Amino acid sequence: EVQLVESGGVVVQPGGSLRLSCAASGFTFDDYTMHWVRQAPGKGLEWVSLISWDGGSTYYADSVKGRFTISRDNSKNSLYLQMNSLRTEDTALYYCAKDNTADSREFDYWGQGTLVTVSS
Amino acid sequence: DIQMTQSPSSLSASVGDRVTITCRASQSISSYLNWYQQKPGKAPKLLIYAASSLQSGVPSRFSGSGSGTDFTLTISSLQPEDFATYYCQQSYSTLVTFGQGTKLEIK
């Protein structure tokens, strides 16, 4: 059974930093591009970032480029999101998601999300 | 970035109704269009990928169509468990974008 379990969400002050983690199981992790998608309270879905199977390619939404860094450790079946210079508008539930097929950018499995609150 | 616009933003319907939700892309995205269902407090669920392919395990009352810039999600006969928010998403561009969502409510 595919499982994605996010962790690391907390309350942080504006300008602060945070690292989210996503532990994957039930599939061959290093076969798939992985993504972070967020959802602000009561709002829609916003794609944040992707990382290729080997970590060689990364992409970011304009809203987080230069502040967030996605990474992965295939030996630990884990995905990460380093979040710096946090803003109140980064407050959201952060999901990790897996590609349906290689490089498809169709998200067939999602975690339960981890809540990041940026507030003073 | 490619903008995705869904209509309507909300919709009231009854069990047994046939419902159609539309999604329009700001440029041609071929058939790189996916649909998700999200229920309150839950992660989104992939329903349709590549515009018209039904994801494994999804009931056949869900169908998708379209190509280029205009797409539709149809639920042929609404069931109680279908009341949720639906999102389209383009996967044509590496910078993925979602529509704003359509909330389907019980009439």
Pairing mode, strands B62-67 and B70-75: antiparallel
Residue segments in chain A with a per-residue pLDDT below the cut of 70: none
Reported as a single tens digit per residue, the pLDDT across B60-94 is: 999 999 999 999 999 999 999 999 999 999 999 99
Of A61 and B106, more confident: A61
Mean pLDDT, rounded, for B37-50: 98
Whether B21 shows a pLDDT value over 90: the answer reads yes
Q: Provide the mean pLDDT of chain B.
A: 97
Which residues 16-55 of chain B have a CB within 8 Å of chain A? Answer: 32, 34, 36, 38, 43-46, 49-50, 55
Question: What pLDDT does residue A28 have?
Answer: 96
Q: What is the number of other CB atoms lying within 10 angstroms of the CB of residue B80?
A: 7
Best to test chain B binding among A22, A62, A103, A107 (most B CBs inside 10 Å): A107
CA torsion angle B69 B70 B75 B81 (round to 10): 50
* A31: β partners: none
Q: What's the gap in Å between the CA of A98 and the closest CA on chain B?
A: 11
Residues above pLDDT 70, as percent of chain B: 100
- Check B91 against A111: CB less than 8 A apart: no
What are the Cα distances from residue A88, in Å, to A80, A85, A94, B100?
A: 21, 10, 14, 20
Determine contact: B58 vs chain A, CB below 8 A: no
Q: What's the gap in Å between the CA of B17 and the closest CA on chain A?
A: 25
Secondary structure class of A45 (helix, strand, coil): strand
Whether B34 shows a pLDDT value over 90: the answer reads yes
The token duo for B31 is: 């058939």
| Distance, CA of A83 to CA of A62 (rounded, Å) | 14
